[in-house]
């Protein structure tokens, strides 16, 4: 009902990319300067071209149907919820049939809203939730496992075509999980400490490697281009947190605020705005659960540690731009916040 009817009100007042996506598909648009050659099925230089691929498939089967495009998004939404619930049942068997858990995950306002729109975020979230479920579900190597690995690899490759930095984060998470299981297999004590030290050492080596020097200009250019895009909005619509920071020390002092805003924006400071009210309440509840969950931090296991590190990686990838605009931050944060909520439900399972 929300996806097909209530969202029309939101669509009427917002200039949304989904209208452009649908028009590109039904009109078989060949070329748009901003998006590239849309006639291609896959283009390593254009995430939009790659995102249009499943929409083109849906349109090929159900000719020019807006209803079926929205139904496709609904299927991705339900698939995401199913994967999340199954992952949660792996973390704690007692939560398997908990109806409150179903409501908590299904009616997260930001997920509920953006699953009603045609965006890259939902299909990425669907694949990510499937990847984590598959990773934690596999216990032995057999034909079924090979099938899971193949499907997951295709999913990660598709994420790479849409947002390569997310694919890097999920790949590191997969290797980290395998590494933890290997350390457990050979009876290494203090596995988590060794894991954290290994990650910090890897980050140190990466920043001083020739590889990072080669790609850093591209990364900084993309960050600058995104900031420039945000500046098309009225000045009061975006935050200038890092823009006037002249030294690394100034950036370091602003880091905690930037990280908080990347995860929990909008917050109480935006609660008076009707369009952001529900999302401010959402972030307030998740932050409250985070505070409560700290006392149960000893419940952290291999699975939750891997998800938590994934959240930290993606949050830091978005940190240079994540605080700029509440609407943009809200959409980007879904890729981490829904998994953060998953961990918090597990840590606070005694409250359910």
**Per residue in 32-85, pLDDT tens?**
656 667 778 888 888 888 888 888 888 888 887 888 888 888 899 999 999 999
Q: How far is CA 341 from CA 19, 145, 180, 185, 266, in A?
A: 30, 28, 23, 30, 16
Residue with the larger pLDDT of the pair 135 and 224: 135
Residue with the larger pLDDT of the pair 286 and 143: 286
Instruction: Give the pLDDT confidence score for residue 231 in this predicted structure.
Output: 52
Question: Residue with structure tokens 């619930």?
Answer: 85
Is the distance from CB of 74 to CB of 2 less than 8 angstroms? no
Token duo for residue 69: 């495009």
Cα–Cα distance for residue pair 39/314, rounded to 1 Å: 31
SS3 244: coil
pLDDT at 260 over 60: yes
What pLDDT band is residue 127 in, cutting at 50, 70 and 90? very high
Q: How crowded is the C-beta side of 351, counted as CA atoms within 13 Å?
A: 13
Residue with the larger pLDDT of the pair 38 and 241: 38
Token duo for residue 161: 């075509």
Q: Which long-range contacts (CB under 8 A, 24 or more apart) does 225-233 make?
A: 226/321, 226/324, 227/320, 227/321, 227/324, 230/321, 230/324, 230/325, 230/328, 233/325
Cα–Cα distance for residue pair 279/191, rounded to 1 Å: 37
pLDDT at 132 over 90: yes
Helix 302-322 × helix 191-207 angle, to 10°: 30
């Amino acid at each position: 009902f929300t996806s097909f009817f209530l969202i029309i009100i939101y669509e009427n007042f917002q200039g949304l990319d989904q209208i452009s996506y649908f028009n590109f598909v039904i009109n078989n648009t060949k070329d748009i300067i901003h998006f590239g050659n849309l006639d291609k099925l896959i283009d390593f230089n254009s995430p939009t071209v790659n995102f249009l691929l499943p929409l083109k498939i849906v349109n090929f089967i159900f000719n020019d149907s807006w209803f079926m495009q929205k139904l496709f998004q609904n299927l991705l939404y339900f698939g995401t919820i199913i994967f999340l619930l199954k992952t949660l049942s792996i973390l704690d068997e007692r939560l398997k049939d908990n109806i409150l858990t179903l409501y908590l995950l299904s009616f997260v306002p930001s997920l509920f809203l953006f699953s009603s729109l045609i965006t890259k975020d939902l299909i990425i979230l669907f694949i990510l939730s499937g990847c984590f479920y598959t990773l934690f579900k596999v216990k032995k190597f057999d034909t079924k496992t090979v099938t899971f690995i193949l499907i997951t690899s295709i999913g990660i490759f598709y994420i790479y075509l849409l947002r390569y930095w997310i694919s890097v984060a999920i790949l590191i998470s997969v290797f980290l999980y395998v590494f933890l299981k290997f350390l457990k297999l050979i009876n290494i004590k203090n596995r988590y400490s060794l894991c954290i030290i290994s990650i910090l050492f890897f980050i140190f080596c990466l920043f001083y490697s020739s590889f990072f020097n080669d790609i850093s200009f591209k990364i900084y250019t993309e960050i600058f281009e995104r900031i420039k895009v945000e500046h098309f909005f009225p000045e009061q619509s975006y935050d200038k947190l890092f823009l006037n920071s002249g030294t690394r020390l100034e950036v370091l002092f602003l880091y905690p605020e930037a990280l908080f805003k990347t995860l929990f924006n909008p917050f109480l400071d935006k609660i008076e705005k009707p369009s952001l009210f529900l999302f401010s309440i959402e972030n307030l509840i998740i932050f409250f659960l985070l505070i409560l969950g700290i006392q149960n931090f000893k419940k952290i296991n291999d699975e939750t540690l891997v998800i938590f590190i994934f959240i930290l990686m993606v949050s830091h990838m978005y940190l240079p731009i994540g605080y700029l605009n509440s609407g943009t931050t809200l959409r980007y944060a879904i890729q981490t916040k829904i998994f953060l909520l998953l961990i918090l439900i597990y840590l606070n399972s005694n409250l359910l």
